[in-house]
Amino acid sequence: MHRWLLVLTTILFLVAQASGIDQGGRVLPGMIRQFEEDLGSVQRTYPLRMSGHHQERVRKFLLQWRQSLEERPVGEFSREDQIDYLLFMNYLDRSLREQELEMARLAELAPVLPFAPRLIGLEEERRRMSQVNAELAAGVLDEVDREIQKMHEAVAGGMDEGDSETAAVRVSVVVANRAAMECLNLQIMLEKWYGFYAGYDPVFTWWVEAPYKRVRRSLEAYSEFLRAEVVGVSADDKDAIVGDPIGREALVSALRYEMISYSPEELIRIAEQEYEWCETEMKKASRELGYGDNWLEAVEHVKTLHVKPGQQPELIRQLAVEAIQFLEERHLLTIPPLAKETWRIQMMSAERQKVSPFFTGGEVITVAFPLDSMQHEQKLMSLRGNNIHFSRATVQHELIPGHHLQQFMTRRYHEYRKLFWTPFWVEGWALYWEMRLWDLGFPRSAEDKVGMLFWRMHRCARIIFSFSFHLGKMTPQECVEMLVTKVGHERDNATAEVRRSFGGSYPPLYQAAYMVGALQFREMFEEYVGGRRIAEKDFHDRILEENMMPVEMVRLLLGTEPVPGRSMPEWRFYPGIE
């Protein structure tokens, strides 16, 4: 009897797996896992972002999934599946919008890189496992080399006010900078293509080696020319900040995906109001320290309170233990014992500090502090920027209850929702805790208050300068100046922050997400905990266990309201901005 029961249970489990229904009777988790695996297969097979075939295949894939999702009987889903349906549909819509914007950006490069499709075609033929025709490939490379030389002359002619025998091509600084980077990507692609055949096929090497080397040199020279002459950055300047503003339309589109019901201009106003609050509190702390209303002098004083070289790791350990004890004594959230045990420290390289002059966190907290290889002035700036009280305000942001605890929990609960990653949940949660700890009296002294307020002002400034940059209202240099004069940053650290913001490794909304996400969590706390709908500990635990998603969807998930058929951002979470 037990044997037959086991067989029947196994059969039912396999049927559920085949139909995409998990053991809890849910449909969407299985669909999302399958989508993520399928998307990975497509992206690995068609990795060439500049390729028309890549764009076409990815778009077809996304449209097929969206159609399949639209055909599902949403009314028959559980409430949690309905929420995952909205998250999934929102993700697909966002991906399709982003692809349209990416195609428009690539179209801007076409007049500057008209030879790119022919080079990409060589690599696509290889990926299709077509037999290479070495003589034809050599001919393509020879023609591409001449076309690169021609474009080089045409762009140079576009910069010359006088007459030119070559048809002139005028290129903006932003497009030239983007094209210079794509030339380097084409070099890398071409190197992989050549390395696949060279040494294995002697006929290929005989035909292709010489034109291949010429094309590589021409691509490199063209890239250096675009960056040095059009962008205005010398070849040996690795630290210049250029940036690539995306414009208002793209900002609004990105905010819609994040379910933020405010315009860029409204978010700047919110940041300005939050900054005013910070400045008022800064003046109070400044008066306690004897600097009157000159709070920038108070910030300068706090910067001098750093540990000696070699002592920073021990300081970080002490600050992490202190924050954990503060949280547990007040029963603010559940901290699994293994999470407390399994975080580690490593030191940040001097090169990395050019873009991340402060801590970065997770299971490993990477600590910024001076190295002996730095110049004397750089050492002083790193010491001052990573002082005791600034550090006390950020260790819990990076570890517990911030990024380390987030990562620990999201790997264990509703793991499939990692597809819906958003900095508004990730960074918003960590900054929300800085706000919550402030309200609970975590800062012990005026110096601690200055440290916490410094970072809070910094997050306000991030909204203002990042949106203003992408709206075309501020230059990178003006952004640096703002961080120095309105927040109190060391100049090198301010430059690193702006370089990080606009270097291309972070999405355009990332820097704004800290404060905006925190304000969303703060308002949700007032609604649920302040409104006595849920206990504080349960509120915090539930957020972590549901995994990441736009914060408006967290609010919907915690509530009991009916799930809308297609969610659009409606939550006006900031009082006073109507």
Task: Provide the 8-state DSSP code for 360.
Answer: B
Same domain for 219 and 258, yes or no, is: no
- pLDDT by position in tens, the chain (length 578): 445 444 443 333 333 444 445 545 789 999 999 999 999 999 999 999 899 899 999 999 999 999 999 999 888 899 999 999 999 999 999 999 999 988 998 999 999 999 999 999 999 999 999 999 999 999 999 999 999 999 999 999 887 654 555 567 889 998 999 999 999 999 999 999 999 999 899 999 999 999 999 999 999 999 999 999 998 887 666 567 878 899 999 999 999 999 999 999 999 999 999 999 999 999 999 999 999 999 999 999 999 999 998 898 899 999 999 999 999 999 999 999 999 999 998 888 877 777 677 778 889 888 878 777 888 888 888 888 888 999 998 899 999 999 999 999 999 999 999 999 999 999 999 999 999 999 999 999 999 999 999 999 999 999 999 999 999 999 999 999 999 999 999 898 899 889 888 877 889 999 999 999 999 999 999 999 999 999 999 999 999 999 999 999 999 999 988 888 766 668 999 987 76
Same domain for 495 and 468, yes or no, is: yes
Q: Are 96 and 63 in contact (CB under 8 A)?
A: yes
Instruction: Tell me how far apart the alpha carbons of residues 196 and 214 are, in angstroms, rounded to a whole number.
Output: 18
21 falls within a domain: no
- Record the tokens describing residue 157, joined without a space: 């002619």
Same domain for 483 and 505, yes or no, is: yes
Same domain for 182 and 141, yes or no, is: yes
Same domain for 440 and 493, yes or no, is: yes
The whole model's pTM is what? 0.89
Helices (H) and strands (E) in the chain, counts: 24, 2
Instruction: Tell me how far apart the alpha carbons of residues 326 and 329 are, in angstroms, rounded to a whole number.
Output: 5
Taking alpha carbons only, the member of 91, 37, 41, 36 closest to residue 66 is 91
Helices 423-439, 446-470: inter-axial angle, 10-degree rounding:
150
Instruction: Tell me how far apart the alpha carbons of residues 395 and 323 are, in angstroms, rounded to a whole number.
Output: 8
569 falls within a domain: no
530 falls within a domain: yes
Hey, what long-range contacts does 290-296 have (CB within 8 A, 24 or more apart)? Answer: 295/450, 296/488
- Record the tokens describing residue 387, joined without a space: 């002082």
26 falls within a domain: no
Rounded to the nearest 5°, which phi and psi values hold at 364? -115, 120
Task: Provide the 8-state DSSP code for 110.
Answer: T
**Amino acid in the structure at residue 303:** K
Residue for token pair 């517990």: 400
Last residue of a domain, one of 75, 109, 143: 109
Same domain for 39 and 178, yes or no, is: no
**Amino acid in the structure at residue 58:** V
Helices 173-197, 202-225: inter-axial angle, 10-degree rounding:
170
Same domain for 212 and 277, yes or no, is: no
Same domain for 217 and 254, yes or no, is: no
The SS3 of residue 51 is coil
Instruction: Tell me how far apart the alpha carbons of residues 476 and 504 are, in angstroms, rounded to a whole number.
Output: 13
188 falls within a domain: yes
Give me the pLDDT at residue 10, please: 39
Rounded to the nearest 5°, which phi and psi values hold at 374? -75, 155
**CB atoms < 10 A from the CB of 225, how many?**
19
Last residue of a domain, one of 85, 109, 133: 109
Within 440-525, residue ranges assigned H as helices are 446-470, 476-486, 491-502, 510-525
Cα 91–chain centre separation: 16
Last residue of a domain, one of 57, 80, 109: 109
The enclosing H or E element of 535 equals none
Same domain for 70 and 134, yes or no, is: no
Give me the pLDDT at residue 8, please: 41
577 falls within a domain: no
Rounded to the nearest 5°, which phi and psi values hold at 35? -55, -45
- Record the tokens describing residue 115, joined without a space: 């030879």
Same domain for 102 and 127, yes or no, is: no
**CB atoms < 10 A from the CB of 523, how many?**
18
Residue for token pair 């540990």: 307
Instruction: Tell me how far apart the alpha carbons of residues 493 and 475 are, in angstroms, rounded to a whole number.
Output: 17
Rounded to the nearest 5°, which phi and psi values hold at 573? -90, -5
The enclosing H or E element of 345 equals strand 344-347
47 falls within a domain: yes
Rounded to the nearest 5°, which phi and psi values hold at 366? -100, 120
The SS3 of residue 531 is coil
Domain that holds residue 218: 116-231
Same domain for 161 and 287, yes or no, is: no
9 falls within a domain: no
Number of domains in the chain: 3
- Record the tokens describing residue 415, joined without a space: 């793991």
Q: Are 390 and 455 in contact (CB under 8 A)?
A: yes
Same domain for 102 and 123, yes or no, is: no
